[in-house]
Amino acid sequence: MLRIFNFTFYKILLSLTLFIISFFLPSYLKIISLVLSYIIISYEIYIEAYSNLKKKELFDENFLMIIATLGAFIIKSYEEAVMVMFLFEVGEYLADLAISKSKKSLLNLLNLKKDTITRINNGKEEVIPLKEAQIKDIFIVKPGERIALDGKVVEGNSFIDTSSLTGETTPKRVAENDFVLSGSINETSLLKIEATTTSQTSTAARIMKLLEEVDETKSKTETLLTKFSKIYTPVIVSLALIIGLVFSVITHDYNTWIYRALVFLVTACPCALVISIPLAYFCGIGTASRKGIIIKGSKELDNLNAISYLFLDKTGTLTKGNFQVTKVKTKDLSKQELLEYAASAEKNSIHPIAVAIKNYNKEKTFSIKNFTEISGEGISCTIKNKSILVGNKKLMESRKIKVEDINEVGTIIYVAIDNKYEGYIIISDEIKKSALHIAELKNYFKDIIILSGDKKESVKSVAEKLQITTYYGELLPEDKLNYLKKYQKKAPCMFVGDGINDALVMKASTVSVSMGIKGSDASIETSDIVLMNDDLRTLQVALNIAKNTKKKVIQNIIFSLSVKFIVLLLAFLGISTIWMAVFADVGVTFLVIINVLFLFIKNY
């Protein structure tokens, strides 16, 4: 659970309580209550200003607020002094909460590590905390369970889902002496594994550690504000000194010009800016989170506005990564007869392709004899005293059976009966429903490009169905990186992927997006944005949120500076009063906060 009620929250609450109580106290107690409220809310700002002073970084927003609020105390505007510091701290608190919220949501999303492990001790199973497991311990993993530690299989054979680590959608068969990684999911049969890592050194643990070290980077606008304040602050302080000292000496009217100088300082306090900008990004990140989009920080949200090229991985991103029968072609048999023979031959196999054929066959299956599963090739068995072969081209060639060359998208499964070729079945991946809307994003980018390690024919088929004209297939991770760099020389690029093989290109892109469900742990760690439900339609939502957030930031900057410069001019001319200064600072602050909060209620 996100810690909203932290030390800063209670500090703000205590300061606000003393501020409110002060209105019901006699004058001397009122001043004491306001001073205490001011000290509680502002002492950290004084500490930070002092720290910056030691680094010879005097002129920042902290310094200006200290001078302005002390000036407010001098002219006995105690409430104004407290309110300026109070609003600044609220803004800082909300900004910190935004980053904490996005990080917390991401960590909850991953849930890589198990808390316990089932260890074999003297022939008996015992469930122990994962942190107690040691290298060389033997532990079991049941079907459906996530593998807790990296290790070597010592007993059993099964298929494991490694898509979260490798981006490979086809489950990997493992047997004795094969190594497995933590974070993979055991799919079919019980495995006994000898641990080769501990809970601190496993693959899952390393990824979690990286996630916890996500940088809390500021957006370009926030960084620009800090740079602006380094120029703005000394200029304002110098002008206030000129107004308060020089003109006092010239006119000998010390009270009037010192008052004008203090009004000038209070007016100039950049409270509205330092609050509204982080708050806008907070609201943008919060709104995105409610829509199932985790954005790691304000910099990443801001960068969405600059993207010109969208790059997409195929398997697991545009497609589901689930196999299904898409075509059945026969010679002398009917399609149903071919399916019945194939499904019967495959019924003892747990391979995902076999499962796809069995699920597709709606009719009967036959009893089989002499079942043999030939690794990497297919199935050999006897049905109704007929020799049946079901497998790939390599299996047919090994038995010297001539088959036709098929240039179609998908995995080709050939069927032969009594050494005679009878037809083939095509197993293909399925395009996500949300991917069918990807063409709607064309107005947001100069071009949309698919980068995939799959066969060019398969990539072309998907691209045509999604109305994408630029695509590249049969790419290694470094090939993807080279393509992205080529485009990134022209303009900022975004990459959307799901596997560890995408981590390299994700790290190099201006904005990287990963899938929250199918996405690998490494790709989620590397990415700037996570689509929690794997719905590509939420990408358009993220782009709209980023656009509106930027719009609110610009509106608030223009409005805040315009009001301040007008009131500053009036302060110099002696027209504005301390109450106008309050409006220019506190009033404007509330108005920009209200403007930002519209981000939450806008329909995306």
Residue 217 — pLDDT band, cuts 50, 70, 90? low
- Residue 134's Cβ-side half-sphere holds a number of Cα atoms within 13 Å equal to 3
CB-side exposure of 315: number of CA atoms within 13 Å? 27
State the DSSP code for 219: P
Domain with CATH 2.70.150.10 in the chain: 116-201
Q: What is the DSSP letter of 305?
A: G
The pLDDT, as a whole number, for residue 210 is 42
Greatest mean pLDDT among 456-460, 463-467, 590-594 = 463-467
Question: Which residue's entry shows tokens 């469930």?
Answer: 127
Buried/exposed code over 19-45 (b: 16+ C-beta within 10 A; e: otherwise): beebeeeeeeebeebbbbbbebbbeeb
CB 59 within 8 A of CB 237: yes
Alpha carbon distances (Å) from 327 to 271, 334, 338, 411? 66, 13, 12, 10
Q: Which CATH architecture has domain 288-319+431-543?
A: 3-Layer(aba) Sandwich (3.40)
CA distance to 12, 352, 377, per residue, from 381 (Å)? 75, 19, 13
**321-430 CATH, one of 3.40.50.1820, 3.10.310.10, 3.40.50.300, 3.40.1110.10:** 3.40.1110.10
Model confidence at 343: pLDDT above 60: yes
Residue type, 531: L
Residue 21 pLDDT: 95
pLDDT at site 220 = 61
Report how far residue 279's alpha carbon sits from residue 276's, in angstroms, rounded to the nearest whole number: 5
- For the entire predicted model, the pTM comes to 0.62
Query: What are phi and psi for residue 149, nearest 5 degrees?
Result: -135, 150
Q: How far apart are CA 515 and CA 477, in angstroms?
A: 18
Could you read off the pLDDT of 541-552 as tens digits, one per residue? 999 999 999 998
> Of these residues, 302, 313, 502, 528, which one is catalytic?
313
The amino acid that residue 586 corresponds to is V
CATH domain 116-201 topology: 2.70.150
Q: Which residue bears the tokens 């007929």?
A: 386
Task: Point out the least confidently predicted range of 186-190, 384-388, 530-534.
Answer: 530-534
Q: Catalytic site residue 313?
A: yes
Helix, strand or coil, per DSSP, at residue 434: helix
Residue range 507-523, pLDDT digits in tens: 889 999 988 655 555 56
Q: Which of 77, 83, 51 is nearest to 65 (CA)?
A: 83
In the chain, CATH 3.40.50.1000 covers 288-319+431-543
Q: With CA atoms as reference, report the closest residue to 258 among 248, 267, 266.
A: 248
pLDDT attached to residue 392: 86
To the nearest 10°, report the CA torsion of 106, 111, 113, 117.
160
Compute how many other C-beta atoms are within 10 angstroms of the C-beta atom of residue 453.
21
* pLDDT for residue 577 is more than 50: yes
The rounded radius of gyration (Å) of the Cα atoms in the chain is: 33
Q: How far is CA 139 from the centre of its chain?
A: 33
140 with 158: CB under 8 angstroms? no
Q: Which has the higher per-residue pLDDT, 469 or 109?
A: 469
Tell me which of 283 and 137 has the higher pLDDT: 137
Q: Give tens-digit pLDDT for 349-380.
A: 767 778 889 989 877 889 999 988 887 788 99
* pLDDT: which is higher, 180 or 501: 180
| Residue 485, pLDDT score | 92
3-class DSSP string for 505-531: HHHHCCEEEEECCCCCHHHHHHCCEEE
